[in-house]
């Protein structure tokens, strides 16, 4: 198998992009990634794009548009490149990257474009909530009115009871990630939260109401529009470019039961553990070697639980670590320096790709000082699908030229 590197990365600002169609967002992000790769290609060694993988979860339901990848290659004039749309729930982004990775690693393709995008704000909150809830079991869960925040609420209750996670711990994640969002021009939410306004003050009952007990409004990521893209090629080829290649050193994916109740221990996110372990084993690295991580904090509890399941902290310690500032920029392991899903936003198909884009920028040391993890060499991403029933992890590594 060949080593595969990321040689181009691009993203458009997440938010409410009423003016743009889904296809426009995908095209804008793709062009940014292609231009980024081209800039690096001063010796004109890059071959044309062989294949395009497009991550999207809701085009069929929300835009009534299917075969999105075929449409995108046409728009980008990339014919006759191979193209397919990857739908894997909120893990679609990382799944699309995986497909690109395997295609190049196998030697079949030389240069691949991966784009992830979602347009969710076209519909009302009720419809968007219903769309996301279609991931749940169609007979045993969905008819009851369960939502993904509801699943997270049930999970949080168990996690609080078994591991002593408190609202203070969850609050530490909301405050940290929204603070980082104010520094990220790509973030949907650019508003820092105030502890008094969302927790201590009696007025917080209106500002930060219970949304999926015990989770509150600011424990949830926003519903966003957005797109992100990367360009992949073999490491060998990447070494001929001017920007430092970012090696996909490790990758892992694992699944779990669809319903929480059928898991032996519903607080055990086995798919996260296995995906991360596989990624670390392939990269020949350990959690202690990671300098920066983008974890899937669709709900604050998930950042805590994932930080434990990937091995940064022992079980029950993730919340305390966050409260102690260990996951902030400058801390032991900076998590979601981008603001995470919580602040960057969560256009479901885009998220898994956007996480990689942010880590690429970190490992190339391209970010402004207030967001850059100094000297970062190794990064981790976790993209969490369903309620932990399909999880992908990537370990990325800066390769010095």
Partner 1 sequence: MKKEIAITAYKCKQCGKIHYPYHDRCLVCKGREFEKMKPEGDAHLLTYTAIFNLPWGFDQRFLIIGVAEFENHVKAMGQIKVDSVDQLKTGMKVRPSWEPIRVQYGENVYGLKFEPIE
Partner 2 sequence: MAVDMELEAVLRPIQYPMVPYPPKVITLANGKKMVIRQAMREDVPAILKSVHPCLFIERDYYDIVSARLYGELLAWYRYRVKSEYCLMGQVDGYLVGVVNGRLEDEKVGMSYHTLAIDRGLRIGSHLFAAKMEYHIEYLNQDAVLIVAESPIGFRRWMVEYPLEATKIPHELGGGDSYRLTREIYLKAKPRLVVGDRPVPQDLMDEAMADIKFADDNTIRERIAGLKGR
**8 A C-beta contact, residue 310 and residue 287:** yes
The reply on whether position 149 binds partner 1 by CB under 8 A is yes
Of the pair 218, 312, the CB lying nearest partner 2 is at: 218
The reply on whether position 167 binds partner 1 by CB under 8 A is no
The reply on whether position 61 binds partner 1 by CB under 8 A is no
Of the pair 12, 392, the CB lying nearest partner 2 is at: 12
**Residue 6 token pair:** 């990321």
| CA geometry: angle 212, 214, 216, nearest 5 deg | 60
Classify each residue of 64-85 as buried b or exposed e, where b means 16 or more C-beta atoms within 10 Å of its C-beta. Answer: ebeebbebbbeebebeebbbeb
Of the pair 94, 133, the CB lying nearest partner 1 is at: 133
Beta bridge partners of 117: 227
Q: Kindly report whether the peptide bond that precedes residue 214 is cis, defined as omega within 30 degrees of 0.
A: yes
Q: Which of 31, 38, 105, 158 binds partner 1 (CB under 8 A)?
A: 158
Q: Which of 209, 314, 325, 330 binds partner 2 (CB under 8 A)?
A: 209
Of the pair 77, 124, the CB lying nearest partner 1 is at: 124
Least distance from partner 1 to the Cβ atom of residue 212, Å:
5
Distance CA 51, CA 364 (A): 25
Of the pair 14, 387, the CB lying nearest partner 2 is at: 14
Least distance from partner 1 to the Cβ atom of residue 211, Å:
5
The H or E element that residue 148 is part of is helix 148-163
Distance CA 260, CA 258 (A): 7
The reply on whether position 15 binds partner 2 by CB under 8 A is yes
Of the pair 197, 325, the CB lying nearest partner 2 is at: 197
Q: Which of 26, 69, 152, 198 binds partner 2 (CB under 8 A)?
A: 198
The reply on whether position 28 binds partner 2 by CB under 8 A is no
The reply on whether position 208 binds partner 2 by CB under 8 A is yes
Of the pair 83, 220, the CB lying nearest partner 2 is at: 220
Which residues lie closer than 8 Å to 134 by C-beta, 6 or more apart? Answer: 61, 142
**8 A C-beta contact, residue 95 and residue 350:** no
Which residues lie closer than 8 Å to 33 by C-beta, 6 or more apart? Answer: 8, 9, 10, 113, 115, 229, 230, 231, 357
The reply on whether position 13 binds partner 2 by CB under 8 A is yes
Phi and psi torsions of 23, nearest 5°: -65, -40
Q: Which stretch binds partner 2 (CB under 8 A): 80-88, 107-115, 190-198, 229-237?
A: 190-198
Q: Which residues ranging from 256 to 315 are in contact with partner 1 (CB under 8 A)? A: 257, 259-262, 266
Least distance from partner 1 to the Cβ atom of residue 157, Å:
5
The reply on whether position 145 binds partner 2 by CB under 8 A is no
Of the pair 151, 229, the CB lying nearest partner 1 is at: 151
Q: Which residues ranging from 230 to 259 are in contact with partner 2 (CB under 8 A)? A: none
Please state, in angstroms and as integers, the Cα–Cα distance from residue 216 to each residue in 2, 94, 166, 167, 212, following that order.
46, 28, 12, 9, 7
Q: Which stretch binds partner 1 (CB under 8 A): 206-214, 316-324, 353-361, 391-399?
A: 206-214
Q: How many residues does the chain have?
A: 401
Q: DSSP letter for 335, please.
A: B
Of the pair 23, 215, the CB lying nearest partner 1 is at: 215
Distance CA 191, CA 179 (A): 7
Nearest to 61, CA basis, from 114, 128, 125: 128
* Sites of contact with partner 1 (CB under 8 A): 124-127, 129-130, 133, 137, 139-141, 143-147, 149-150, 153-155, 157-158, 161, 209-215, 257, 259-262, 266
* Sites of contact with partner 2 (CB under 8 A): 13, 15-18, 124-126, 188-198, 201-209, 218, 222
């Amino acid at each position: 198998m060949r080593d595969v590197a990321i040689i181009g990365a691009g993203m458009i600002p997440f938010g409410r992009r009423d003016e743009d169609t889904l296809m426009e967002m995908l095209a804008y992000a793709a062009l940014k990634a292609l231009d980024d790769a081209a800039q690096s290609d001063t010796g004109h060694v890059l071959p044309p794009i062989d294949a395009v993988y497009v991550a999207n979860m809701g085009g069929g339901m929300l835009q009534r548009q299917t075969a999105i990848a075929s449409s995108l290659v046409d728009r980008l004039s990339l014919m006759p490149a191979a193209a397919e749309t990857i739908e894997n729930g909120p893990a679609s982004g990382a799944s699309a990257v995986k497909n690109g990775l395997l295609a190049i690693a196998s030697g079949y393709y030389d240069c691949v474009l991966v784009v992830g995008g979602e347009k969710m704000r076209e519909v009302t909150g009720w419809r968007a909530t219903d769309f996301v809830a279609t991931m749940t079991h169609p007979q045993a869960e969905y008819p009851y009115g369960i939502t993904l925040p509801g699943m997270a609420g049930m999970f949080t209750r168990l996690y609080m009871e078994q591991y002593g996670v408190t609202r203070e711990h969850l609050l530490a994640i909301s405050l940290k990630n929204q603070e980082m969002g104010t520094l990220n021009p790509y973030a949907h939410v650019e508003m820092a939260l105030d502890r008094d306004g969302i927790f201590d003050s009696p007025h917080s009952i209106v500002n930060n109401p219970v949304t999926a007990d015990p989770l509150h409004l600011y424990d949830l990521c926003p519903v966003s529009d957005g797109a992100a893209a990367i360009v992949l090629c073999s490491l060998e080829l990447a070494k001929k470019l001017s920007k430092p290649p970012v090696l996909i050193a490790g990758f892992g994916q694992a699944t779990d039961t669809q319903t929480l109740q059928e898991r032996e221990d519903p607080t055990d996110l086995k798919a996260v553990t296995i995906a991360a372990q596989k990624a670390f084993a392939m990269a020949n690295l350990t959690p202690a070697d990671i300098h920066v991580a983008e974890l899937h904090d669709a709900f604050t509890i998930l950042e805590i639980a994932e930080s434990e399941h990937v091995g940064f902290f022992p079980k029950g310690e993730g919340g305390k670590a966050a409260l102690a500032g260990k996951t902030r920029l400058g801390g032991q392991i900076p998590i979601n320096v981008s603001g995470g899903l919580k602040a960057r936003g969560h256009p479901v198909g885009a998220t898994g790709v956007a996480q990689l884009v942010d880590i690429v920028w970190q490992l190339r040391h391209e970010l402004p000082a207030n967001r850059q993890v100094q000297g970062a060499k190794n990064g981790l991403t976790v993209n969490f699908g369903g309620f932990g029933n399909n999880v992908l992890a990537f370990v990325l590594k800066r390769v010095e030229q």
